[in-house]
A and B are shown apart, each in its own frame.
Chain A
Amino acid sequence: MSSAVHRDDIGSKIGMWLFIFTELLFFGGLFIVYSVYRFKNPVAFHLAAEELDVMIGTVNTVILLISSMTVAMSITAVQLGERKRAILLLSITVILALVFLVNKYFEWSSKIGHGIYPGSETLIELGTGEVLFFGLYFSMTGLHALHLLIGVTILIVMLAKVINSSVNTGYFVQLENSGLYWHLVDLIWIFLFPLFYLIS
């Protein structure tokens, strides 16, 4: 309503951090469920984890770590007024995110190809511990992939804004907040990776 637009960059960033807290607690619910069932079914979780492809998991971890770096670099580039470099770095981030999703697609479809998906006959025959492990695997990585999809959409919008210069050296809080969100997506994966792939 007011003609003088209220602008508060620090306020926006506090808002983003608060939102990240809620996201962490949102995943926190699933992490609690994971720890309870891991405690109750140690052997089944051990055996089921060996079914997962550590290679794909590792590659995806590296991809996300690099993408977190490139998005952080793009923010610095915008702050320094190097628009072209920022566009390049953001594009790399978007491409890496898409590669992650492609990997995820192959990983999931190979599992589903082997008849391992929630509610499938094969899975129920394996035993209740495996049902829970793969239930958690699909819901947690699925929810993570959904967040990644949202994140990459935001990054594409940011890329467009950097290209048309509405995000620039004088106004870049939106890009910073998108970067924060992207780091959150990265951070959650950093916990998912060892829990599902490495501890076996």
Chain B
Amino acid sequence: MSSNNLPEPSYLEYKGRFKGLFAWIFSTDHKRIGLLYLYSIMTFFIVGAILGLLMKFELIAPGKTIMDAKTYNGIFTLHGITMIFLIVIPGLPAVFGNFFLPILIGAKDVAFPRLNLLSWWIYIFGAVVALSSQFLGDGPPDTGWTFYAPYSFKTTTNMLPAVMGAFILGFSSILTGLNFIVTIHRMRAPGMTWLKMPLFPWTLYGTAWIQLLATPIVGITLLMIVAERTLQIGFFDPALGGDPVLYQHLFWIYSHPAVYIMILPAMGVISEILPTFARKPIFGYKAIVVSTILIAFIGYFVWGHHMFTAGMSGTAQFAFSFLTFLVAIPSAIKVFNWISTLYKGSIQLRTPFYWAASFIFVFMIGGLTGLVLGSVATNVHVHDTAFVVAHFHFIVFGGVGFAFLAALHYWFPKIYGRTFDEGMANTGWVIFFIGFLFLYFPMFILGLKGMPRRYFDYVQDFHGLNIVSSMGAVLMIFGFFLLFINLVRSARFGKPASKNPWGGPTLEWQIASPPTVENFDKIPKITKGPYDFTNVKPD
């Protein structure tokens, strides 16, 4: 673009057609869009976390503590909708996928930059519609984020915006997935064969297919709920011949694969971080690629394990239980590969490594307790108890959340061109990690003892562990606050970062920090695998 000898301006400083805020919200640069998602998701995360904290305050003692049952129902519904649809599903692909997918495959942008910007706008629109359900009409929705029929069209609360919001957000997710698939097929740098592609793009590829093929099912299902409420169409209304269990099937046909939309990119991030800090190529690259595809594929056929108690034949229970155990195998393969990557590595204990290592720890607990839920007999015992809540928070928050923060710390110097204070970041991590374990681990025990989920009240026997859990929540939020402040401050005042502060082998560490608008002066020619450490040193 410029033919003079001045250094190219970074994407943060680049002056385009618009000025100020407009230069961001109308930018089609994948890096700026990634940051738009980052800021929106962080904002919604703070809202969701405060809602979660309120629930924990309510549960600190039996009986009514700070809110009544109806408010509690509204709050756990909004907590679920915000966290699932606004944060965890878009999370890693929209933020780090947008920012780093093109760079990792040696491209200047995604395949459809304008569509990419449109996805963000649809996301914001969907978020506004979903959140408006809290303030309009007859009170906040109280069905939980699953919108189970027939209650979702019988309740007088303000369901429509919540359901429509989730529907709109689905479009954003589909378009991002579509964009990534075409980008990966068409825009890899010359020489980057499929098996020379880094693992984060591989997991984004698996995720993108799930986004594309599973999201439309929940889209149409949510539309049916809308039709049910507005036109009395009767699909899920037993009074009109419909079948509420059919709704659950359709909902989970999407919403179980959605868990893999969340966790696959998290696995990709961990597979990027561990080699860098072990200074050793990833162990079993091909096994990780194959297990990624297997998870994406088998993940479609396990949805029934959410419904073991909803009315299902013994054969179906057996099949879904078997498939659930099957999908655990590729996940375990990945854990073995990560551990083997560390074996005999020259491990450097830096902040992103702490996050990645703690990810493996919480992911294993979350994964193994998932098998307790996947086996029919134990599932019936802990169904709809705090055990389920603990399990999916270990996976969705412990897994995806830890990976998100790992990615944020790992790529922070590249994104902002500044380093952060590692001492404070590590303190934040320790407090967050301990708080996390105190918050969610007691819930496993509470669930096994029979404490049901989604109630604002409980019997006296459960009091002690609930106090521990609520204290853990406070500790965790404090840890988050520390690391958040640290990052915000460092983004402004941190020391300038070098090209490759951690000594990473992949393409993003070969370009300027922060990257220029076009990422690469010249599109690189790829001759070696992604995790080759020959001549790679931290600078």
Q: A3-B1, A22-B174, A132-B242 are in contact. Are A30 and B215 (CB under 8 A)?
A: no
Interface mask (B199-242 → A, CB under 8 Å = 1, otherwise 0): 00000000000001111110111001001000111110000111
Count residues of B near A (Cβ-Cβ below 8 Å).
43
Count residues of A near B (Cβ-Cβ below 8 Å).
38
Output the least CB separation between B188 and chain A (Å): 12
Q: Report if B246 contacts A (CB, 8 A).
A: yes
Once the chains bind, are B224 and A33 in contact (CB under 8 Å)?
yes
B214 surroundings in chain A (CB, below 8 A): 25
Q: Report if A198 contacts B (CB, 8 A).
A: no
A19 surroundings in chain B (CB, below 8 A): 178
Tell which of A1, A11, A21, A40 has the most Cβ of chain B within 10 Å. Answer: A1
CB contact between B217 and one of A28, A118, A127 (< 8 Å): that residue = A28
Once the chains bind, are A15 and B182 in contact (CB under 8 Å)?
yes
Interface mask (B170-197 → A, CB under 8 Å = 1, otherwise 0): 0000100011011001110000000000
Which A-chain residue is minimally distant from B111 (CB atoms)? Answer: A11
Interface mask (A5-45 → B, CB under 8 Å = 1, otherwise 0): 01010110011001101110111111011001100110000
CB contact between B220 and one of A26, A127, A136, A138 (< 8 Å): that residue = A26
B216 surroundings in chain A (CB, below 8 A): 22-23, 25-26, 28-29
Q: Report if B108 contacts A (CB, 8 A).
A: yes
Once the chains bind, are B250 and A29 in contact (CB under 8 Å)?
yes
CB contact between A25 and one of B16, B28, B113, B217 (< 8 Å): that residue = B217
Q: Report if A110 contacts B (CB, 8 A).
A: no
Once the chains bind, are A132 and B235 in contact (CB under 8 Å)?
yes
> How long is the Cα–Cα vector from A27 to B217 in the complex, in angstroms?
8
Interface mask (A136-149 → B, CB under 8 Å = 1, otherwise 0): 10110000000000
Q: Interface on chain A toward B: helix, strand, loop, or mixed SS?
A: helix
Q: Report if A2 contacts B (CB, 8 A).
A: yes
Output the least CB separation between A148 and chain B (Å): 17
B232 surroundings in chain A (CB, below 8 A): 118-119
Once the chains bind, are A6 and B109 in contact (CB under 8 Å)?
yes
Q: Report if A166 contacts B (CB, 8 A).
A: no
Tell which of B174, B224, B235 has the most Cβ of chain A within 10 Å. Answer: B235
B1 surroundings in chain A (CB, below 8 A): 2-3
> How long is the Cα–Cα vector from A128 to B237 in the complex, in angstroms?
10
A136 surroundings in chain B (CB, below 8 A): 235
Which A-chain residue is minimally distant from B241 (CB atoms)? Answer: A128
Once the chains bind, are B213 and A25 in contact (CB under 8 Å)?
yes
B227 surroundings in chain A (CB, below 8 A): 118, 139
Once the chains bind, are B241 and A41 in contact (CB under 8 Å)?
yes
A129 surroundings in chain B (CB, below 8 A): 241
Q: A124-B240, A128-B240, A132-B241 are in contact. Are A15 and B16 (CB under 8 A)?
A: no
Once the chains bind, are B186 and A11 in contact (CB under 8 Å)?
yes
Output the least CB separation between B237 and chain A (Å): 9
> How long is the Cα–Cα vector from A14 to B186 in the complex, in angstroms?
9
Q: Report if B508 contacts A (CB, 8 A).
A: no
A window 83-117: CB within 8 A of B: none
CB contact between A29 and one of B16, B217, B517 (< 8 Å): that residue = B217
B112 surroundings in chain A (CB, below 8 A): 15
Interface mask (A143-165 → B, CB under 8 Å = 1, otherwise 0): 00000000000000000000000
Which A-chain residue is minimally distant from B232 (CB atoms)? Answer: A119
> How long is the Cα–Cα vector from A8 to B186 in the complex, in angstroms?
8
Output the least CB separation between B231 and chain A (Å): 4
Which B-chain residue is minimally distant from A117 (CB atoms)? Answer: B231
B219 surroundings in chain A (CB, below 8 A): 26, 29
Shortest 4 CB-CB distances between A and B: which pairs? A128-B241, A29-B220, A119-B232, A26-B216
Given A18-B182, A118-B233; 4 other pairs, CB 8 A cutoff:
A2-B517, A25-B217, A26-B220, A30-B224
Selected A-B contacts with CB under 8 Å, 5 pairs = A1-B113, A37-B235, A37-B241, A119-B233, A138-B233
